[in-house]
């Protein structure tokens, strides 16, 4: 079975609610949708999120340009990943190039699993199973965060994560305590600074949050400041989380070798797709690092099933409007699809509605 063509489309999907962080606000999802076709009729799908409108069309055009490299190649995900990375050895595989390669990798793995009529998790040597999930809360202040936590609790979630990084640490604490009040003493509460602090300010705020029983504090400082993360981790008993901005398996190895340990969260679009995640899962097992995902819940649920140190699934419903069957989440657990493939199936009527 060989790859015969790509279909690349751009859509803009409205957010259920604007994503607000200490670093800025995102109101819509500019997505690039890829369908990989094969000469035997099997298809595979993936979604890429360009964050900003300015990067959407360049990303789509790059993926279209890569069609000529992939067409005629066997439907063999690991081999194609190696071929595409070699194609960019001189330019490098970061930024938009890395995103495009990850999108192709996810779609090819989806087609590969569909061709074998198996769920992606089974193709990776595991099997579909429920994965513990948490819901995200935007930069909404104490009152809004408390209301959102209560909403997610009513839906059965036992864990939530909020964006913080307010002008004062007192406001950060108020958000945490509002969520704790809404969720109860046994809930897992996480917070995310989105790299908004300097090292000294982060140290001060981490000390203030020390007694709040947080499951983790995410990206308090720039994610690639490995020495700073190690220094902060040594000064607090609250676990620190990072990894969504690390690029590929090599980025994770560099972080782990620098002493950043305990928790990490690969992003399927930034870490190299399914193939990159597999490499990082092996590193996580070797270094003793618990792995959660960032975004891409449908694909990531399968990946976590096949990850020896799997931790939490980050659930977000932003792209549900274009999915035929969104991820099934009940009572705080994500139920990995048992359908062949990754679980990504486009609702064509919705895609046409949001097409740009």
CATH code for the domain in which residue 98 is found: 3.30.390.10
> What's the pLDDT at 86?
96
Q: Are residues 312 and 297 in the same domain?
A: yes
Flag whether 64 is in a domain.
Answer: yes
Active site residue: 45, 85, 226, 294, which one? 294
**Phi, psi at 119, each rounded to 5°:** -60, 155
Q: What does the pLDDT average to over 92-111?
A: 97
Flag whether 342 is in a domain.
Answer: no
Flag whether 104 is in a domain.
Answer: yes
Catalytic residue status for 163: yes
Q: Is the pLDDT of residue 24 over 80?
A: no
Q: What is the pLDDT of residues 157-213, one digit of tens each?
A: 999 999 999 999 999 999 999 999 999 999 999 999 999 999 999 999 999 999 999
- pTM, full prediction: 0.96
Confidence tier at 303 by pLDDT (50, 70, 90): very high
Confidence tier at 18 by pLDDT (50, 70, 90): confident
> What's the pLDDT at 283?
98
Q: Are residues 40 and 175 in the same domain?
A: no
Structure tokens at 51: 């964050």
> What's the pLDDT at 89?
92
CA-to-CA dists, residue 7 to 27, 35, 38, 242, 316, angstroms: 26, 5, 11, 33, 25
Distance of CA 3 to the CA centre of its chain: 26
Percent of the chain with pLDDT over 90: 96
- Averaged pLDDT of the chain: 96
> What's the pLDDT at 25?
80
Q: Are residues 106 and 126 in the same domain?
A: no
> What's the pLDDT at 224?
97
d(CA 145, CA 100): 35
Catalytic residue status for 294: yes
Active site residue: 85, 158, 161, 163, which one? 163
Q: What is the pLDDT of residues 33-88, one digit of tens each?
A: 999 999 999 999 999 999 999 999 999 999 999 999 999 999 999 999 999 999 99
CATH code for the domain in which residue 231 is found: 3.20.20.120
Domain count of the chain? 2
> By residue range, what is the domain housing residue 219?
122-335
Distance of CA 268 to the CA centre of its chain: 6
Confidence tier at 263 by pLDDT (50, 70, 90): very high
């Amino acid at each position: 079975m060989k790859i015969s063509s790509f279909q690349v489309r751009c859509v803009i999907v409205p957010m259920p609610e604007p994503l607000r962080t200490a670093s800025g606000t995102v109101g819509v999802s500019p997505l690039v949708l890829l369908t990989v076709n094969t000469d035997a009729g099997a298809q595979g799908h993936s979604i890429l999120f360009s964050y900003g409108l300015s990067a959407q069309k360049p990303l789509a055009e790059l993926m279209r340009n890569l069609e000529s490299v992939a067409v005629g190649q066997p439907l063999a995900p690991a081999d194609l990943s190696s071929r595409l990375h070699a194609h960019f050895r001189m330019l490098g595989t970061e930024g938009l190039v890395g995103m495009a390669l990850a999108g192709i990798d996810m779609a090819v793995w989806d087609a590969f699993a569909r061709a074998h009529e198996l769920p992606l998790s089974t193709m990776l040597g595991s099997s579909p199973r429920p994965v513990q999930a948490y819901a995200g809360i935007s930069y909404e202040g104490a009152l809004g965060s408390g209301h959102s936590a209560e909403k997610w609790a009513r839906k059965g979630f036992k864990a939530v994560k909020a964006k913080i990084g307010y002008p004062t640490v007192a406001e950060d604490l108020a958000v945490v305590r509002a969520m704790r009040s809404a969720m109860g003493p046994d809930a897992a509460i996480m917070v995310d600074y989105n790299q908004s602090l300097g090292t000294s300010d982060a140290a001060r705020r981490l000390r203030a949050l020390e007694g709040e029983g947080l499951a983790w504090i995410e990206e308090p400082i720039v994610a690639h400041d490995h020495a700073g993360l190690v220094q902060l981790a040594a000064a607090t008993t609250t676990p620190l989380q990072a990894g969504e901005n690390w690029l590929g398996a090599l980025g994770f190895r560099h972080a782990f070798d620098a002493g950043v340990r305990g928790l990490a969260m690969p992003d399927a679009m930034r870490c190299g797709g399914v193939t990159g995640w597999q490499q990082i899962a092996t590193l996580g097992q070797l270094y003793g690092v618990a792995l959660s995902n960032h975004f891409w819940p449908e694909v990531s649920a399968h990946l976590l099933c096949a990850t020896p140190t799997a931790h939490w699934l980050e659930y977000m419903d932003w792209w549900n409007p274009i999915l035929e069957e969104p991820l099934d989440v009940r009572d705080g657990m994500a139920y990995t699809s048992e359908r062949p493939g990754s679980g990504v199936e486009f609702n064509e009527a919705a895609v046409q509605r949001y097409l740009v």
